[in-house]
Structures are given as C-alpha cells and as structure tokens.
Amino acid sequence: MIVIKYLYIGIDDTDSPDGMCTTYLASQIINKFNDNGIELVDYPRLIRLNPFARFKTRGNGGVSLKILNNDKAGLARQIVLEEVEKLSMFDCDNTNPGVIFYDGEITEKMENYAFRAIYEFITIEEAEEFGKSVGCEIHKFKKGRGIIGSIAAISLPLSDYTYELLAYRSAENYGTKRRIDYESVYLMDKKTFPDTFENIDYSENYIAIEPKTPCPVLYGIRSNNVEALKEAKEIVEVGEPIVDWCIFKTNQHTDMHIQKAESISEMEQFGCYEVVGEVKNKPRIIDGGHMFFFISDKSGEIECGAYEPTKNFRKTVSHLRPGDIIRVFGGIGEQNTFNIEKFQVIKLNDVEYKNPICECGKSMTSAGKNKGFKCKRCGNRVKSDKKVPIKITRSLKNSEFYETPVSARRHLSKPLCRMDL
C-alpha cells in the first residue's frame, strides 16, 4: 500500500497598513512552484482568525499551501523562505512574519489549536511551544508573531467554506486609485449573485470588491463556488494591468468565529459569540454616531454597540425597545462592549402601557400617588392607578434576522444570503 505524504506550509503577518498582502506573497510562491514543477494539492487556503484578537494583522488572515512531500520539498521550503524575506513589510514595527512547515498528519490536537486561534487570543510563546510539540518546523522573522496564524492556517478543518478570487495590480500602481469599471461590477453582481456575494453595498453605493488600502490587490470577488468566480472575472472590466490572480479556499463568511453562549456571564473579552438576551433600555446614540444599549439575562448584562460605520443598521437597531428578546451575533472588543454583526428577533414586546382614555376621549393624567387617574377636560376620575396595556405595531418582525451592511461586514461574518433561514 502506497502512503502519500504531504508538506503543509503556513505563512502569516507579512503585510502592514501601508502595503503588501500575504495572499499576494502566496501567489508569487505558487508561481515559483509552477516554474519548478511543484504542484499544489487543492486550492491555497486563506484562513481568517479571531477578528477581535489583540495585535492582529490588517485582515487577521494566514495562508496555507499543501504539496506532495517528495524530492522537491526541500526546494519548496527554499522558495517560500526566499519570497517571505523578499516581499514582507519588515520596515513596519507591527509586521512580524512567521512560516511553518509540517510533514505529518493534521491531528485533532492541531485542529483544536486552530479553533482556539479563531475563538481566543494565543501568544507567540504558546504558539511556538505548541508548534514544537507537534513537530512543526518553525521560522520566525523579527518577533515571529505570524507563527500563531501559520499553524492555524494549516490545521483548521473546513466543514463550511467559500472561495475568493483575488486579482493583483502592477507594482507601479500601488497606492493609486484603482481603475475598476463600476458599471461592470454592477453587471457582474446582477448575473452571478447569489453564487457570488458581498460585491456591492447598494444602500451606500459602495463597491465592496475594491480594497481601500495601498495593497497589491486590485479586487477580490467572493463566491460559494469556483465556476461563478471565473464567470465574474470575465465580466469585471478594469483600466489597468492585472499582473496575476489567484483563487483561495477560505473560511470567510462562515460564522466560524461564533461560539454559542448559554449565558451572558460565560462570555469573555476578545471572544466571539451568539447569545440571547432581553433588551433593557432604548438604544441611545452618542457623539460620533455610535449606538449603544444593554441586554440582560439571569446571569448578568452586557452593553451592545452598533458603530457609526454600520450606517443604516443603526436605524434598525434604534427600533428595539425594552422587553424585546433578541439573539445577537458578534464579539467583545477592547471596551468590553459586544460589537453586533447581526441579530435575530426572538420575541418582540408589542405591548405598551398607557394612561387610560376618558369617556370624553381625552387621555387621563395621574391624580397623584395611589390616587388613580383624572381627566383634566371633564373632571372624571378612575380609582385604579394601573395603566392600560395597548398592543402596538412594530417595524421589526419576530424570527427575522437583521445584519450590518456589506461595507461594514467582517470577513468571517456569515451574510444572510448564505444562511439557511
């Protein structure tokens, strides 16, 4: 019986806010592999980690490649390390690349580590100790923080996944306005949605396939299948050279970062959860446009936030009122506030208690503590001081989901178009 052995390669933390993209570095490695007869097994993988982790990279994503562990494995290692040395943004203090080579079977222990990297915060020291314990060959550049994501990128099982096609610019165009024909993007979306998604935020007239950073990516199209990506690429028109493109298999838009919390009190800072709670107060907006309210359960309470970049989503949130039961999805950030990515209405409070209406048709007022109500118009009195329940109409609907707009959506958040509702 022939046993096929593989070499797994993980790369992370090579970019900076001023440029580069680990996916572009991966595409250049793949080109060198092709030139030397080194074939990938399956698509390269782009694995997004905990969006609330401290010290995260710009998109907090690592890349992994899988090849046959044969007589060209040594050459593959050499190519990877040379390209990381050549292309990483070493001038940036927060760029600390890490590379992992692993030639064993992906174990349950490694899979559990990968989920930890998505759910929690892992230190460089923890990652290095873990990598050595399972037999990873570790290469750290500067502080080597990238080894955290590199190990996760090779280890994560993908029961749900999407694909992203990334097209890359010529180096002389980095930092300049991308020359994308927006009309062709609208046409592409019309022809390929919902197989492709997150292309356009129609509420903001925002082209979501276009990055807003000076990185090598010209555009990125996300899809449930490869065929739709190839069709989309043929439709989108650009006014500058595409020097390369690559399709990645990814955990983007899967809600893989979301853990189900049975109570508010069990949630921890920097974790990502879905949890059910009762709205305690009417959402309030503060200077800067951010909106906040509290939810509670028997175990405690937590402040929830819908931030200014979520735009019209805040208007939806503003319709919540005390007594509503909702399920929120999101993560807990630096301020211990729950950042909402989407929410589902479990049960609306559709009753409002008001002063009784007098026989003359005028709303009554309080006659004083424990003295009931009186009518200022005709003087009529009611002994009971209990307000009257009135059924009200709500703009929100029971069981419905409401999500942030495309322009404010995190990489891992699953859009409603991918949910089996």
DSSP class of 151: H
Query: Given a cut of 90, is residue 217 above it in pLDDT?
Result: yes
Q: Do residues 261 and 275 make contact, with C-beta atoms less than 8 angstroms apart?
A: yes
| Whole-number Cα distances in Å, 260 to 104, 156, 271, 298 | 32, 19, 11, 17
Tokens representing 15? 């970019």
Range of the domain at 283: 259-350+394-418
Closest CA to 198 of 188, 209, 185: 209
Structural domains of the chain, count: 3
Supply the pLDDT for residue 166. Answer: 98
pLDDT tens digits, one per residue of 144-193: 999 999 999 999 999 999 999 999 999 999 999 999 999 999 999 999 99
pLDDT tens digits, one per residue of 303-357: 999 999 999 999 999 999 999 999 999 999 989 999 999 999 999 999 988 999 9
Whether residue 367 lies inside any domain: the answer is no
Whether residue 176 lies inside any domain: the answer is yes
pTM of the predicted model, to two decimals?
0.91
Same domain, 117 and 167: no
Same domain, 299 and 330: yes
Q: Which amino acid, residue 69?
A: N
Query: Given a cut of 70, is residue 412 above it in pLDDT?
Result: yes
Supply the pLDDT for residue 392. Answer: 92
Q: Which amino acid, residue 88?
A: S
pLDDT tens digits, one per residue of 47-57: 999 988 765 55
Same domain, 76 and 100: yes
Angle at 63 between CA 62 and CA 67, to 5 degrees: 150
Same domain, 83 and 226: no
- The residues that bridge with 180 in the sheet, in sequence order, are 238
Checking phi first, is residue 351 left (phi over 0); if not, alpha (psi -120 to 50) or beta? beta
Q: Do residues 200 and 189 make contact, with C-beta atoms less than 8 angstroms apart?
A: yes
CA 125/CA 109 separation, integer angstroms? 17
Whether residue 235 lies inside any domain: the answer is yes
